[in-house]
Structure formats: C-alpha cells, structure tokens
A and B are shown apart, each in its own frame.
Chain A
C-alpha cells in the first residue's frame, strides 16, 4: 500500500506546503508542549501535523506517526487503570505520557524533514533574511550528509580488507583504536571536501555581494495560508479546554 501511495503521490503532484507554513506548525507544537496542552489539543495537533505527510507523498511516515501516537495513548490509558494496584505501572505511564507530550513536535518535525526539499529550505531561509553565516553552513551540511555515509562505508570496507574486524564487537573491544581508525580518515576527507567546496563555491559566486537569484520560487499560496490557519486550531482548543 505504501509503495502505491508513494507512486500516486508522485504522479498526482503531491501537496508541497511552503516551509514557512511548516515552521508555523513547529512553533505551535512547541507552544503546546510548553503549556502541557490537554489530550484534545494534543491529539488534534498530531492529526493536523501529520496531514502534510499524508498528502505530501509520505503517507507511510504519516501513518506511522499516527500509529505510534495511538499506541502511546493506549499504554497511558491502560497503565492509569491498573496503577493503584501495581505502582510500577507508573514507569510505563510516565514514559507514555512524556512521549505523547512530545508527539506534536516530533510529527511537525517529521513533516518538515520528510517533505521539504533542500532548495525550498534554503530559499525560505534567505527569504527570512537569515545571514550568510547561517545559510552557507546549512547548505554545505545538506550537501555533505550523503558524502559522510559513503565515506564511512568505504572506510569500514578498507578496514576489513586490512584485517581489522569492522563489526560492533571490535568497536566494543578497542573503542579508542576503532574510533581513531574511523574518525581520522573521515576528518581528513572532510578537510579535503571543504577545500574543494570552497573553490567550487567561490567560482560560482557564493558569498558575492547582492541577493542571489534562486531556482525555486516560493510563494505563500491559499493552501499555505489555510495550513497556517489550521495549525493554530490546537492552540484555540488548548485555550478553551485548558
């Protein structure tokens, strides 16, 4: 079902909200968590914030967030029933209630992370007048994550080739040595990549004065404003129910 949903999402132009709308959701989720919002506001927030995932071509992730929330609520409810007889159920109840409290934040974060393309994110940051000191490191980071994973695999392979067991056991037996063998090549390569990226970036006018043009055009459409308005609803519910 998930593969079909994803394919359908791609074909029928999945809904892509403006990153700023999703940022509003994150802010609302944080306020809810700070205020210890009641179950009504909390569950409404989780459902609303999973909508960008469900309609944005990441239905599997959205369903997973909702399912986790459902299980947590069930655990909390069940442990509250038996807690008078079995005090240790407090541990399960407190854990479930605590993670429930974080679920609006985690769902909004997942929506932000899974449905936002790097280009959109950068455009939104520039539009919000973030300084170069912030935008450039973020761009470089997103570009560099896949490289780290690739390098790490190559390092493990070459360690194995030279007869150092690359498994978790070796890491546990010689933590310091294994760490050194993995970190030093990673850092060495990071330094080289930084140099190459600097040359490539400067050649393309990175950090040149004036506002850079963008491949992505971001506009707050009607859908985005609707999303902003909807994401404020849990706050209203929290204000009413206390």
Chain B
C-alpha cells in the first residue's frame, strides 16, 4: 500500500519517529487541514469553482507557521511526509479526486528530503521544503483540467460543435496552470518567511520548540 511509504523511510533518519511525534503530527495536521478547509470555503465563495485554482496558494500563505512549528518540535525525517499523506487521505475521504492522494504523498516527501538537507534547522532548507510541501495541496485542483474533457464529451453527446470550446480552453489552460503554480511558490515563500518570523518572535523564547 502507498501509505506505508511514510514508515520505512523514517528508519534512515538519525532519529526514528515515535508516538509523541505522531501525536504532534496529528495535532498540527488538524490545524493545517482546518486552514485548507477555510481557504477552500473562502476562495469558493469569492471566485466560484475557479477559486479552487488559488486554493493551494492561499493555504500556503496561511499555513507557514503551522509547518515551521511542527518542524521545530519534531526535527526528524517523516513528519512532513506524514502530514502530507494524512491531508491527502482526508481530502480523498471527503470526496476529492485521487490526485490529491498522489500529490499529497509525492511533494511532501520531496519537501521532507530538502528540509532534511538542513537538518530541519537551516532556514533556507526549511523554506525550500515548505514550497515543495505546498504543492502537495495542489491535487484537488487538478480535476479542473479534467473538466474540459468532461464538457467536450457532453457537448459531443448532444451533437454540438466542440471545436470552439476546445480552442478556448487551450488558451486558458497553459496560462492558468502556470499562474496557479507560480502563485503557490509566491504564497509558500511569503507564508514560510512569516512562519519563521513568528517562530523566532514567539515560540523560540517560550520554549515551545525543541
């Protein structure tokens, strides 16, 4: 099963994840999921179905402090990956397309590897890891590109001409895809810096970090 990818890789790290880490991951994943859900609600109300395109960028903008504090408390390989997998599972169970599960495993795993290069302490590595991790939330928006196929199929079933709509979507597709991906990078960089600032200003002194 795909979920197990979180465990064996955790063994290569200097420290294996233990029950306290799992509980930390659960608590911070809950906060992360709430942020994603709120962003989904807000962007859907503001921009309709197309608002989903901006959802990962919004989530990345807001969830930086959650990510940074989790890393400051666990500092071991597997935490970022598990958070991504758990989010992907929740999205899947809530009725999102299975792509959310795939991106929820792949990108957080990459982010985890990058953050590990800096031993979960180097700020640049953490930022890079957060940018990659943020792409894990892009799974739910991928079906928007499937929608084109669904609409063309439905037009053809009714005997309508679909050439017009196909050409329209071709223009929109590449530009919006590039825009959505760029928005994720920008949002994640801003959110990550904000997270690091909050960490230094509030949590390091209070002894909440490890």
Contact = CB atoms under 8 A, between A and B. Distances in A.
Main secondary structure of the interface of B (DSSP, over half): helix
Contact of A138 (B78, B86, B198): B86
A94 B147 contact: yes
Interface stretch (A31-39, A219-227, A232-240): A31-39
A193 B93 contact: no
A8 B94 CA distance: 26
B6 A187 contact: no
Contact of B26 (A84, A141, A186): A141
Interface in B102-139: none
A17 interface: no
A90 B150 CA distance: 13
Interface stretch (A95-103, A155-163, A210-218): A95-103
Nearest to B92: A26
A133 B62 CA distance: 26
B207 to A, nearest CB: 10
Interface residues of A, number: 66
A194 interface: yes
A29 B96 CA distance: 10
Interface string A126-149: 001111111011111101110010
Contacts of B155: 80, 93
A134 B3 contact: yes
A43 interface: no
A207 B23 CA distance: 11
Contact of B94 (A99, A109, A131, A202): A109
B13 interface: no
B147 to A, nearest CB: 3
B40 interface: no
Nearest to A81: B158
A179 interface: yes
A137 to B, nearest CB: 4
Given A102-B143, A207-B18, A131 B27 contact: no
A53 interface: no
B23 A136 contact: yes
A56 B96 CA distance: 22
A183 interface: yes
Contacts of B194: 176, 179
B98 interface: yes
Contacts of B22: 132-133, 136-137, 140, 207
B25 interface: yes
A97 B66 CA distance: 36
Nearest to A135: B22
Nearest to A93: B151
A219 B147 CA distance: 38
A198 interface: yes
B182 interface: no
B204 interface: no
A184 B202 CA distance: 8
Candidate in A39, A138, A188 with the most chain B CB atoms within 10 angstroms? A138
B198 A184 contact: yes
A171 B107 CA distance: 31
B181 interface: no
B33 A26 contact: no
A190 B3 contact: no
A94 B92 contact: no
Interface of B: 1, 3-4, 6-7, 10, 17-20, 22-31, 33-34, 48-49, 62, 65-66, 69, 73, 78, 82-83, 85-86, 89-90, 92-98, 143-144, 146-151, 153-155, 157-158, 160, 164-165, 168, 194, 198, 202-203, 206, 208
Given A140-B27, A190-B31, 4 more contacts: A97-B151, A137-B83, A187-B66, A207-B18
